[in-house]
C-alpha cells in the first residue's frame, strides 16, 4: 500500500496533514476503512472517495477521531470546574475559552453549562474548532442522543436541554455562548489571549514532534496563568519545557 501517495492526495483534497499522525496507527485505520468497503488498493479507495460523498464523510469522521460525550471523565471535569471557580472567574468575569478538536460540540457545551452554573449571565467567549466541517454542522445543531448525554445530571438536563422526539436539544442560551469554526491544529494559526484551552484525546494520535509543537502553540495562545485541560490519557510529562506548571493531574497552568 502506497501510504505516502495517499497522504499527499488527502492533503491536496482535504487539507489534512496525515504525516503528523503516528504511522502504525494511521496505516491500521486506513486499511480497516478500505476493508470495510471492499477495496484493495489506494487508487481504488481514492476513486471511491472522489465519487461517493457518504464514504468521504465516513473517511473524515474515522480519521479525525470524532469520539466524545458530555463531561467525558466526570471526575476530571469536576476538577476543571473547581479550577474555573477558584482561579479563573475571580480574576475575570468574561472568560475567553478555546475548545480545540471539539467534534460534535459536547465538550464546549459542557464548558458553557459549567460557566452558566458558576456565574449566570456572564459574557464569556467560547470558540470551538474542529478540522471536520461536517461534524461542525452537527455541533451547531446541538442535537444529542441519550447515550451522548449519559453524564449529564437530571437538573442540568431539565435546565439546559429540550426533548424533541428521540433527541435532546441544547438550550438556546447555552448554544449562543459557543462559536464554531473550522481549524486545523497542525496547519492553521492560533488565536491568542485565552484563559482556558480544552484539547482532549486528540494529540495522542500525533507523532512526538507535532505534539511538542502544539503544546508550544497552546502556551503562546494562553494568557499568563491560563489553563490547559487535556485528556485522561494525555499527561504531559515534560510540561516544564513548554512553560507550564502542573495545576492538577490533567490541567496545566501557563507560567
Instruction: Compute the radius of gyration of the chain from its Cα atoms.
Output: 19
148 lies in a domain? yes
Cell reading at 120? 449566570
190 lies in a domain? yes
Number of domains in the chain: 2
Range of the domain at 8: 3-63
For residue 235, give the H/E element and its range.
Answer: none
Q: How confident is the model at residue 1 (pLDDT cuts 50, 70, 90)?
A: low
Same domain, yes or no: 131 and 53: no
What's the confidence (pLDDT) of residue 197? 98
207 lies in a domain? yes
What's the confidence (pLDDT) of residue 232? 81
Same domain, yes or no: 180 and 155: yes
Tell me the pTM. 0.80
Weakest mean pLDDT among 147-156, 167-176, 236-245: 147-156
69 lies in a domain? no
Same domain, yes or no: 211 and 102: yes
**24, 33, 42, 44, 173 from 39: Cα distances, Å:** 20, 9, 8, 6, 46
Q: How confident is the model at residue 132 (pLDDT cuts 50, 70, 90)?
A: confident
What's the confidence (pLDDT) of residue 30? 86
Q: How confident is the model at residue 134 (pLDDT cuts 50, 70, 90)?
A: confident
163 compared with 12, residue with greater pLDDT: 163
Residue finishing a domain among 43, 63, 83: 63
Percent of the chain with pLDDT over 70: 98
The stretches of 167-230 forming alpha helices (DSSP H) are 172-176, 208-221
What's the confidence (pLDDT) of residue 64? 65
Same domain, yes or no: 235 and 122: yes
Calculate the dihedral angle through the C-alpha atoms of 50, 18, 25, 241, rounding to the nearest 10 degrees. Answer: -160
Average confidence score pLDDT of the chain: 90
Q: What is the pLDDT of residues 31-76, one digit of tens each?
A: 888 888 898 888 999 999 998 888 887 787 777 665 677 888 888 8
Q: How confident is the model at residue 219 (pLDDT cuts 50, 70, 90)?
A: very high
What's the confidence (pLDDT) of residue 205? 81
29 compared with 110, residue with greater pLDDT: 110
CATH number of the domain within which 134 lies:
3.40.50.150
191 lies in a domain? yes
User: What mean pLDDT do residues 214-224 have?
Assistant: 97
Percent of the chain with pLDDT over 90: 55
Q: How confident is the model at residue 17 (pLDDT cuts 50, 70, 90)?
A: confident
Cell reading at 178? 459557543
Amino acid at each position: 500500500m502506497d501510504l505516502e501517495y495517499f497522504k499527499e492526495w488527502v492533503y491536496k483534497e482535504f487539507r489534512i496533514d496525515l504525516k503528523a499522525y503516528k504511522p502504525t496507527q494511521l496505516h491500521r485505520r486506513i486499511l480497516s476503512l478500505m476493508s470495510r468497503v471492499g477495496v484493495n488498493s489506494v487508487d481504488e479507495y481514492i476513486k471511491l472517495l472522489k465519487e461517493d460523498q457518504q464514504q468521504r464523510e465516513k473517511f473524515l469522521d474515522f480519521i479525525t477521531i470524532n469520539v466524545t460525550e458530555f463531561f467525558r471523565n466526570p471526575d476530571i471535569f469536576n476538577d476543571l470546574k473547581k479550577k474555573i471557580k477558584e482561579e479563573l472567574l475571580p480574576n475575570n468575569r468574561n472568560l475567553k475559552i478555546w475548545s480545540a478538536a471539539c467534534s460534535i460540540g459536547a465538550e464546549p457545551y459542557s464548558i458553557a453549562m459549567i460557566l452558566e452554573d458558576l456565574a449566570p449571565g456572564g459574557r464569556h467567549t467560547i470558540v470551538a474548532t474542529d478540522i471536520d466541517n461536517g461534524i461542525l454542522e452537527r455541533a451547531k445543531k446541538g442535537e444529542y442522543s441519550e447515550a451522548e448525554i449519559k453524564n449529564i445530571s437530571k437538573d442540568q438536563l431539565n435546565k439546559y436541554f429540550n426533548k424533541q422526539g428521540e433527541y435532546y436539544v441544547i438550550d438556546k442560551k447555552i448554544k449562543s455562548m459557543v462559536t464554531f469554526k473550522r481549524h486545523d491544529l497542525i496547519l492553521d494559526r492560533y488565536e491568542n489571549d485565552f484563559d482556558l484551552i480544552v484539547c482532549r484525546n486528540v494529540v495522542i494520535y500525533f507523532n512526538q514532534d507535532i505534539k511538542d509543537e502544539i503544546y508550544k502553540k497552546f502556551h503562546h495562545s494562553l494568557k499568563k496563568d491560563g489553563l490547559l485541560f487535556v485528556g485522561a490519557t494525555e499527561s504531559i510529562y515534560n510540561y516544564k519545557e513548554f512553560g507550564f506548571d502542573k495545576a492538577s493531574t490533567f490541567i496545566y497552568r501557563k507560567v
